[in-house]
């Protein structure tokens, strides 16, 4: 009997000043592709952000590559934030040049990141949640709204900001509302908190701390009731259940029905592509559209994404229209009849697209 192959999802970031970004991108892509890993890596002048999956020898080889790299060596907490998975979780290996390794609208140097400091250990954070006077603290969730709605730490509040321009506008409000309380910010992988901590401290909020080791380190270390909901992840799992039946609590609310669910999907109208919380059953009932607007736009132009429960190959139909424009009326008529036959008796709660103006990935 063959031994079952073990896979790991490895994720890290490192703020470091990179001069020749294009060379680093190509070198990284060449190595990762050669050893057969899959994942998504961003490299820019401010550093690297990497999430990859591989089998045992691929992960070992990648770690050795990082160890020998003059810039990307020794990323913090690399092992404790790794996660066992049942196979590759990305369709391909992608390494791209990105001006910011997390797109928030402001770049910072390695020195600025390091000087901000103010890291709070997961042990101290747990003690505050378990036994501290939570009224002395603000637990600030720095992620997208759909991520907060799917899961968050208890007593956390959403920052309700998606770009640094929005964060800048909120700073004066934070000063008035939070007063002298300690602000503990967190996010999934830590990059947003690294950068937002710099901005908040530069604005005078010196009591701003970031959770050291990110959320992933906390949930890989503790199994407790301080976590509410499923972990939103940036691979094909999307929604990952955290902890066991004794400590897991579902908090996600279905877009269509208000029922509790841990399931996440994307709107099938391609220009929208909104990330929505929805039960699988309701998502199928509404044929994957988040709103009446997206459904009607799909009827008009046929920009629909393929899914398993709908056997029509929309991608193939769009290619047909592109290569043979004279077939466009016929193809759109077919799409309209197909969609209408599946949705004609469904009511959409939302009239307009549920896409957030800006998505951080």
CA distances to 159, 276, 291 from 355, in Å = 18, 8, 10
**Residue 118, pLDDT score:** 82
pLDDT beyond 50 at 261? yes
Flag whether pLDDT at 250 surpasses 80.
yes
Tens of pLDDT along 64-94? 999 999 999 998 778 777 888 888 989 999 9
How far apart (Å, rounded) are the C-alpha atoms in residues 252 and 259? 8
Query: pLDDT of 350-359, one tens digit each?
Result: 999 998 743 3
Q: What is the pLDDT of residue 115?
A: 82
Q: Is the pLDDT of residue 1 over 50?
A: no
How far apart are alpha carbons 265 and 274 in whole angstroms?
A: 8
User: Catalytic residue among 32, 187, 193, 294, which?
Assistant: 187
Q: What are phi and psi of 297, to 5 degrees?
A: -65, -40
Enumerate long-range contacts of 111-117, CB under 8 Å, 24 or more apart: 112/198, 113/15, 113/194, 113/195, 113/198, 114/15, 116/194, 116/197, 116/198, 116/201
pLDDT number for residue 38: 96
Which one has a higher pLDDT value, 20 or 175? 20
Condensed to tens digits (0 to 9), the pLDDT of residues 131-180 reads 988 889 999 988 877 788 888 898 999 887 766 667 778 888 888 888 88
Side-chain half-sphere CA neighbours of 357 within 13 A? 7
Compute the C-alpha angle 305/99/201, nearest 5°.
Answer: 110
- pLDDT at residue 103 greater than cutoff 80: no
Question: From 4.10.490.10, 3.40.50.2300, 3.30.70.100, 3.40.50.1980, which CATH number describes the 7-97 domain?
Answer: 3.30.70.100
Could you count the other beta carbons within 10 Å of the beta carbon of residue 103? 18
Structure-token pair, residue 358: 């800006």
Half-sphere exposure of 4 (CA within 13 A, CB side): 6
| Model confidence at 334: pLDDT above 90 | yes
For domain 110-232, which CATH number applies: 3.40.250.10, 3.30.365.10, 2.40.110.10, 3.40.50.880?
Answer: 3.40.250.10
Task: Mark whether 187 is an active-site residue.
Answer: yes
Contact by Cβ (8 Å): 81, 217: yes
Q: What is the mean pLDDT of residues 254-275?
A: 92
* Predicted confidence (pLDDT) per residue in 265-309, tens digit: 999 999 999 888 999 999 999 999 999 999 999 999 999 999 999
Name the residue ranges covered by the structural domains of the chain: 7-97, 110-232, 265-343
Helices (H), the chain: 21-35, 56-67, 110-116, 122-131, 145-150, 164-178, 191-202, 214-221, 280-285, 292-301, 314-323, 328-343
pLDDT at 235 over 80: no
CB 198 within 8 A of CB 108: yes
pLDDT (mean) for 110-136: 88
């Amino acid at each position: 009997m063959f031994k079952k192959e073990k896979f790991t999802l490895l994720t890290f970031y490192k703020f470091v000043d990179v001069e020749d970004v294009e060379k680093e991108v190509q070198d990284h892509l060449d190595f990762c592709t050669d050893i057969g890993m899959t994942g998504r890596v961003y490299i820019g002048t401010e550093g690297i952000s990497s999430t990859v999956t591989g089998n045992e020898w691929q992960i070992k080889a990648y770690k050795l590559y990082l160890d020998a790299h003059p810039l990307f060596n020794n990323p913090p907490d690399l092992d404790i934030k790794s996660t066992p998975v049942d196979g590759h979780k990305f369709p391909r290996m992608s390494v791209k040049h990105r001006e910011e390794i997390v797109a928030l609208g402001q770049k910072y140097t390695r020195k600025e990141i390091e000087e901000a400091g103010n890291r709070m250990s997961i042990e101290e954070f747990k003690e505050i949640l378990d036994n501290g006077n939570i009224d002395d603290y603000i637990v600030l969730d720095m992620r997208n709204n759909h991520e907060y709605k799917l899961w968050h730490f208890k007593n956390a509040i959403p920052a309700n900001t998606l770009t640094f321009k929005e964060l800048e506008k909120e700073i004066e409000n934070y000063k008035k509302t939070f007063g002298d309380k300690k602000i503990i910010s967190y996010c999934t992988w830590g990059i947003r908190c690294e950068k937002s901590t710099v901005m908040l401290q530069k604005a005078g909020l010196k009591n701003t701390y970031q959770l050291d080791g990110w959320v992933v380190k906390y949930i890989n270390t503790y199994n407790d009731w301080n976590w509410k909901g499923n972990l939103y992840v940036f691979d094909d799992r999307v929604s990952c259940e955290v902890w066991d039946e004794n400590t897991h609590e579902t908090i996600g609310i279905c877009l269509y029905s208000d029922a509790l669910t841990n399931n996440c999907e994307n709107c099938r109208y391609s220009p929208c592509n909104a990330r929505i919380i929805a039960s699988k059953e309701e998502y199928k009932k509404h044929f994957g559209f988040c709103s009446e607007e997206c459904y009607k736009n799909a009827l008009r132009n046929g920009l629909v994404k393929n899914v398993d429960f709908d056997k029509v190959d929309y991608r193939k139909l769009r290619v047909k229209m592109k290569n043979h424009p004279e077939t466009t009326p016929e193809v759109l008529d077919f799409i309209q009849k197909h969609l209408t036959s599946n949705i004609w008796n469904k009511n959409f709660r939302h009239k307009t697209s549920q896409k957030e103006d800006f998505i951080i990935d």
